[in-house]
Structures are given as structure tokens and as C-alpha cells.
Amino acid sequence: MKFEILTIFPDFFRGPLDYGIVRRAREAALIEIGIHDLRAFTHDRHRTVDDRPFGGGEGMVLKPEPIFECLESLAITPREQRLSSTANETVVLLSPQGELFTQSVAQQFVQRERVVLICGRYEGVDQRVSEFLADREISIGDFVLSGGELGAALIVDAVTRLLPGALGNAASSQQESFTANSGDVVVRGEGEPPSSTCASGGLLDYPHYTRPADFRGMAVPEVLVNGNHDEIRRWRRRKALEKTLRIRPDLLRAVELSSEDRGLLDQIEAQQENVEP
Ligand code: SAM
């Protein structure tokens, strides 16, 4: 899989993409990352990439020409063909006004052979890039950054870890927060939703502990050291449900709950009612 990043600050990516899973994925040729300096696609002495906005107003805007020319140099599939859900390539404009980047968007990107990430700067990017060049605008959250580079690095990381072979243990990416349909759901009786494993299945992840079992008087929950796998699974699932209910109840609406999950949620809610004044 190849990421192509269009930026006016190519050096920004020295570092963020040189560690851990992303570095190993690059070394193993699972991914390739092309970093393209938009200034190389300018034609004036000053290598100008920005200009004042038509109609006046604050700040500067990234000009369309370098972005269009850079993308053309990559011989990308024409836009009409890219818009099919089975297309091999996609072109993304980083923008705070875009649709939110989520695990499910990462799962869509990992299906593509090439993902182009256009990083804006200043007051943003000439609107024609969004309307005529990019397939979609993606935001990494409801806040405004100075540029799209951090978002691009974040997308490369989140997508790379979904590639088969990127993680030491392939099951890890199936069992993380937000990941719907974790790989090892067990189907119960007919018509019943899948029985939950401890794994995410769209919930937030359960708490993790490692040695020492007692750290400065802070002990690991007893259930995790008693070796009863079914109890551990139930405890983890309960913790994941509890945390999701408390912090991200919106996620629960999209999760397929098993009868065991519903029982655990009833217990959690009953417990909360008893605690509240
Ligand atoms: N004027 C724009 C607005 O109010 O929506 C903000 C432009 S921002 C200062 C400059 C660039 O940073 C954007 O073009 C985009 O590429 C990037 N950026 C800023 N916040 C972002 C976010 N939350 N997600 C993705 N990209 C973002």
C-alpha cells in the first residue's frame, strides 16, 4: 500500500513516521510513503504556494496549481473512476470541515492500494481542490490545527496498523477500541446476536495490567490472576461496557449486544443507581 502526502513542509514527516509499527511496516515494504513538496510544483522565483483570498478577508490560501500539478505527476486514476467503492486509489483533503476520521474510515482506506493525503495550511486550500480534485474531506477532530500534516501522519499510523502483517499479533487490531465485528465472536443459538468475547466489538477497550501484581499497594484486580479464563473474559467485557457507557454512550447504540452483554449492562446500571444519591 502506498501513501502519497502533499505538503509545503516535507521535513515535518521526519520523525513521526520513523518509529514503531510504521517504521517496521516501511522496512518490510508493507507500506511506502511518498512525500511531495508542493513548492517543487511552482514556477516562480519565490516558489509561491499561497495567495490572498478573492473577496478579501484574513490570511492566505493555498493556490490550486501546485496541488493539481503534483497530483497529475503521480498519474493518479481519474476522479470519476476513483469514486467507485472498489477503486484502488483515493484522494483526501485534510480539513477541519471534513467528515470525522474514525476507525471505520481507516478500515475503508486500508482497502485501497494508494491513499493521497493533501495537507492544507494558512486559512485553507483553494475550494477547487475540494470540489474538483479530492474525493473527500477528512477532519481528525473538532478543533483547528495549523496544518494538515499532523492529521496525515495520524491517518498513516491508524491505517498501517490495520494492514495484515503490520502488528506482531494480528488479533490485536481486531480487538481494539472502536473495532466492530471483532474477529473471534462466538455465535450462540439461532437468531441470537453473537456472544461477546472480551474484545471490543465496537466498544472501548477493557483495562490492561502487567507485572508487578502489586505496585506500591495498587493491586491488579484479583480476577486477572486467578487463571479462570471465562471469569476473565466476563470481567473484561463488563469493564469495556462500563467504560463505554460512562464515557462514550453514543458508541453503545451501534454495538450488537449479546444477551450476556445486556445482562451485564443491567447489572452496571443497577449498581450505578445504588451508588447515586
Ligand atoms: N480556515 C479553516 C477553517 O476555519 O475551517 C482552517 C484552516 S487550518 C488553519 C489550515 C489547514 O490545517 C487546513 O486546510 C487543514 O488542512 C488543516 N487542518 C486544521 N484542522 C484540521 C482538522 N481538525 N482535521 C484535519 N485537518 C485540519
Q: Where are the domains of the chain?
A: 2-160, 174-275
Cβ contact 83:108 at 8 Å: no
The reply to whether CATH 1.10.1270.20 applies to domain 174-275 is: yes
Asked if the bond preceding 212 is cis, omega within 30° of 0, the reply is yes
Q: What is the per-residue pLDDT for 176?
A: 77
Q: Which atom of ligand 1 is nearest to the CA of 122?
A: 10
* 122 and 9 Cβ atoms separated by less than 8 Å: no
CB-count burial class (<10 Å; 0-12, 13-18, 19+) for 179? buried
| Helices and strands (H, E) in the chain, number of each type | 9, 9
pLDDT of residue 273: 87
Is the Cβ atom of 125 under 6 angstroms away from ligand 1?
A: yes
Q: Which of 6-15, 28-37, 180-189 has the lowest mean pLDDT?
A: 180-189
CB atoms within 10 A of CB 140: 21
- Whether the CB of 94 sits within 6 Å of ligand 1: yes
Distance in Å, CA 230 to ligand 1 centroid: 47
What SS3 state is found at 119? coil
Q: Which atom of ligand 1 is nearest to the CA of 139?
A: 24
Q: How confident is the model at residue 185 (pLDDT cuts 50, 70, 90)?
A: very low
State yes or no: pLDDT of 195 exceeds 50.
no
Task: Quote the pLDDT of residue 190.
Answer: 44
pLDDT at 234 over 60: yes
Q: Which atom of ligand 1 lies at the shortest distance from residue 138's CA?
A: 25
Q: 145 in ligand 1 pocket by Cβ < 6 Å? A: yes
Instruction: For residue 26, report the distance from its CA to the centre of ligand 1, in Å.
Output: 28
Residue 154, ligand 1, Cβ within 6 A: no
Residue 272 Cα to ligand 1 midpoint, Å, equals 40
Confidence of residue 182 (pLDDT cuts 50, 70, 90): very low
- Is any ligand 1 atom within 6 A of the Cβ of residue 201? no
Q: Is 151 in the pocket of ligand 1 (CB under 6 A)?
A: yes
| Pairwise pLDDT comparison (248 vs 276), residue with the higher score | 248
Distance of CA 44 to the CA centre of its chain: 37
This prediction has a pTM of 0.89
Residue 71: pLDDT band with limits 50, 70, 90? very high
> Cell numbers at residue 55, please?
473577496
Q: What distance in Å separates the CA atoms of residue 61 and residue 10, rounded to the nearest whole number?
A: 18
The domain covering 2-160 belongs, at the CATH homologous superfamily level, to SPOUT methyltransferase, trefoil knot domain (3.40.1280.10)
CA distance linking residue 217 with residue 82, whole number of Å: 57
Residue 231 identity (one-letter amino acid): E
Tell me, what DSSP letter sits at residue 132? H
Mean pLDDT to the nearest integer, 56-74: 96
In this structure, what are the phi and psi dihedrals at residue 231, rounded to the nearest 5 degrees? -65, -40
Give distance in angstroms: CA of 194 to centre of ligand 1.
40
3-class DSSP state of 186: strand
Are 90 and 112 in contact, with CB atoms under 8 Å apart? yes
- Residue 201: predicted pLDDT: 79
- What does the alpha-carbon distance between residue 22 and residue 159 come to, in Å, rounded to a whole number? 10
- Check pocket membership of 35 for ligand 1, CB cut-off 6 A: no
Neighbours of 101 (CB within 10 A): 20
pLDDT category at 181 given cuts 50, 70, 90 is low
25 CA from centroid of ligand 1 (Å)? 28
Q: Write out the H or E segment, with its range, that includes residue 130.
A: helix 127-132
Is the pLDDT confidence value at 110 over 60? yes
90: alpha, beta or left? (left if phi > 0; alpha if psi -120 to 50): beta
